[in-house]
Structure 1
Amino acid sequence: MRLTQAFLPLFRNNRKGVTIAFTSSSSTYTPLPFMSHYSASKSALSTTITSLAKELLPFHISVLAFECGGTVTNLGQPRQSSPSPSPSSLLSPPPPPPETPYAQGITSLITMFTRDPPAYMPGSPSKMAKTMVSVINKIQKGEKVPVRLVLGSDAWESVNQNLDETQQVLQEWKHVSWETDRDGVKGGAEGDYLRAVSIL
């Protein structure tokens, strides 16, 4: 964010249009257990980008987040020269967990991923990179692109499930949400507020 703040004055003076793109994660919608810090930081990034996009719109600066699913990269691997990894080489069987209250849960999660690594990482880094460039080019041509774009079939399905479940919870608990208003107010959000927070 500090880096973005540093170059924004230069971009605000460029009236030809600029695009700032960030790599985020679908875990903003679907945090896994024992990965709370990773998911929280990505959620903070995507939320900041959503607000930043609205702030910079008057300056012809486009901002978007690519929220990626499982992708075969060297993330989490030793930093050494090696050929591109294969999905099966990325994860090894889990070591015996330390004796903690969370050992069973951690082992279960790691086992899920090591059982069939390719199934949990369908994304291709090269295809994602090409897609990112293609989407940014669309913006440069004046086409409308969402501020937050999910990449990866696994990401799409998990985010879609999350949104369906969120809608279900919202409807089931609406009466609890609404009963916390002050007496005498009409309730609900004002139209101008809803327009300000709209992602479209």
Structure 2
Amino acid sequence: MKTWFITGTSGGFGRIMTEMLLERGDRVAATLRKPQALDDLKEQYGEQLWIASLDVTNTEAINQVIHSAFEELGHIDVIVNNAGYGLFGAAEEISNEQLNHLIQTNVVGSLQVTRATLPYLRSQGGGRILQLSSMAGQTGFPALSMYNMSKWAVEGFIEALSQEVAAFNIQTTLIEPGSARTNFSGSSLIVAEGIEDYAQTPVGYMRQMAEQPSDRHTPGDPVKMVKAMIDVADADNAPLRLTLGSDAYEAIHKSLSSRLAALEGQRDTAYSTDFEPKSE
């Protein structure tokens, strides 16, 4: 039996993961802004499910909740940074308030949850951290530039952090799902007011897709994706990144191949800007 700490468990991946873990007999410390959303699971699983109210934009609350979770549950094996949401719109369509809240939730909130858990994971001799990212953490999409920014930020943080904490037997994995049939396009997606000049651009095309969602554009099975997340946390050696969904694989593969080809084309220029080697 393992103990998991999961943020953002009211719906989507967080809710599915909580249900699957409880069903297999694990303990779950579930956090969300409205704890009553898990009343049905609490009634069914009792002490197996620990629930706390948490808004990840509140750093003081993060520290208090994590302290309480470790204090009451003891050893926690896996931390799942799942809380977050999408923000849709061209860069200039996004309001300052929308941008600031996105950063506080997706970036600062995720970083602070991880930072708050590290002393406990070190003292207990290790653990796992799963950070929900996205295929948007590896490639850019029009109308998602701000969401891309938030996911690229956590990708850079986790990639460096993995090297900082490996000596303490703490392993980290970035979860990079593609589109999945969850509530992401509903309550978890904020859509900015559009600017007419963008209507006939890629932003306008993306807006039409967002307003008329289709299963054709969301191939990912969220249950299968969550199962893969749990499997990677159970593995002896966790990969730094876990890509989930055919669309994620194709988009990331195309982006990385293009970036690598561009880099190779600049090799001579890169080397030419070094100091000339000193002659013996």
TM-score normalized by the length of structure 2: 0.54
Which residue does the alignment assign to 1:3?
113
Q: Provide the C-alpha distance between the structure 1 equivalents of 2:112 and 2:214, rounded to a whole number of angstroms.
A: 36
**Unaligned ranges ≥5, structure 1:** 80-89, 91-95, 186-200
Do the aligned partners of 1:26 and 1:159 also contact (CA within 8 Å) in 2? yes
Query: Structure 1 residue runs of 4+, over 6 Å off?
Result: none
Which residue does the alignment assign to 2:240?
147
Task: From 21, 38, 42, give the equivalent of 2:130.
Answer: 21
Say which SS state the counterpart of residue 146 (structure 2) adopts. Answer: helix
Say which SS state the counterpart of residue 104 (structure 1) adopts. Answer: coil
2:73 equivalent to 1:73: no
**RMSD over equivalenced CA pairs, Å:** 2.4
- TM-superposed CA distance for 1:57, in Å, is 0.7
Q: Provide the C-alpha distance between the structure 2 equivalents of 1:7 and 1:109, rounded to a whole number of angstroms.
A: 38
Greater strand fraction, Structure 1 or Structure 2: 2
- TM-superposed CA distance for 1:126, in Å, is 1.1
**Unaligned ranges ≥5, structure 2:** 1-110
Which one has more relative contact order, counting CA pairs under 8 Å at least 6 apart? 1
2:271 equivalent to 1:178: yes
- TM-superposed CA distance for 1:32, in Å, is 0.2
- TM-superposed CA distance for 1:146, in Å, is 1.3
- TM-superposed CA distance for 1:177, in Å, is 1.9
Q: Provide the C-alpha distance between the structure 1 equivalents of 2:251 and 2:186, rounded to a whole number of angstroms.
A: 25
Q: Matches of residues 1-200 of structure 1 in structure 2 within 5 Å?
A: 1-15=111-125, 17-78=126-187, 98-100=195-197, 102-105=198-201, 106-112=203-209, 117-138=214-235, 142=236, 144-184=237-277
Deviation digits for residues 80-133 of structure 1, max 9, x if unmatched?
xxxxxxxxxx9xxxxx95423x23212222335667722221111111111111
Count of aligned positions = 165
**1:65–1:78 CA distance, 2 compared to 1 (3 A):** closer
- TM-superposed CA distance for 1:30, in Å, is 1.4
**1:78–1:164 CA distance, 2 compared to 1 (3 A):** closer
- What amino acid does structure 2 have at the position aligned with 1:5? R
Do the aligned partners of 2:129 and 2:172 also contact (CA within 8 Å) in 1? yes
